[in-house]
Amino acid sequence: MDTVEIAAGRFRLRRCHAADADWVYRACQDPAIQRWTRVPSPYRLDDALAYVTEFVDASWTSGRAAPFGVFDGVSGEGLGTISLVSMDLADGLAEVGYWVAPWARRRGAATAGTLAIARWAFESLGVARLTWLAEVGNDGSRAVAERAGFTVEGTLRDRIRRRDGSRADAWIGSLLPSDL
């Protein structure tokens, strides 16, 4: 799966490489990304380099995650990331997670990327149920999930562990192949 590229309308999904470290670093300076995701805070250039090289490679090698960068299909500009995580292909399960750089928001990259990675997961990997989780209050993430067709199934109490060790409730949703 090293060379998987996915077309997503005017966007393209592909693995991040060392050359992507600069834009990932710039994006992860955003307070919203640091607030709602598990990226380190403060986020250093070394963190971005480790993500695009070590983490991405280890994820694909292990088969437990499939992280992609989201890029403008024409300019090649880095716009965000979208990943399948907690993959259990034997049971047909995976979770989707995403973030979008501040300069790329409200352009449809997260929704298009989520739909594209969902189709790929269902058709190429045999995923039967794709899950989405977000901390309650992350309205942007919920809006993307709903636009992509996820059914918000409820709230999981104390599901998310925050960076400071405290716990928070999470929304959970699912997408099935028949939902597309």
Task: Give pLDDT tens digits for 101-144.
Answer: 999 999 999 999 999 999 999 999 999 999 999 999 999 999 99
Q: Which pLDDT belongs to residue 125?
A: 96
What is the share, in percent, of the chain residues with pLDDT greater than 70?
99
Report strand pairing: 66-72 vs 5-8. Answer: unpaired
Statement: residue 1 has pLDDT above 70: no
What order do you get walking across the sheet with 78-88 strand by strand? 5-8, 11-14, 66-72, 78-88, 93-100, 129-135, 167-175, 151-161
Torsion of CA 160, 122, 61, 32, to 10 degrees: -40
pLDDT digits 0-9 by tens, 89-101 = 999 999 999 999 9
Tokens at 60, concatenated:
């694909």
* Nearest alpha carbon to residue 96 among 62, 57, 70: 70
Q: Please name the residue that has the structure tokens 């045999």.
A: 126
In the chain, the domains with their CATH numbers are 5-179 (3.40.630.30)
pLDDT above 90 for 2: no
β-pairing verdict for 151-161 and 78-88: unpaired
What are the angstrom distances between the C-alpha of 71 and each of 15, 19, 23, 82? 10, 13, 11, 11
pLDDT score at 3: 79
Q: Is residue 6 predicted with pLDDT exceeding 60? A: yes
Residue-wise pLDDT for 31-60, tens only, equals 999 999 999 999 999 999 999 999 999 999
Average pLDDT, the chain: 96
8-state DSSP, 23: H
Over its C-alpha atoms, the chain yields an Rg (Å, rounded) of 15
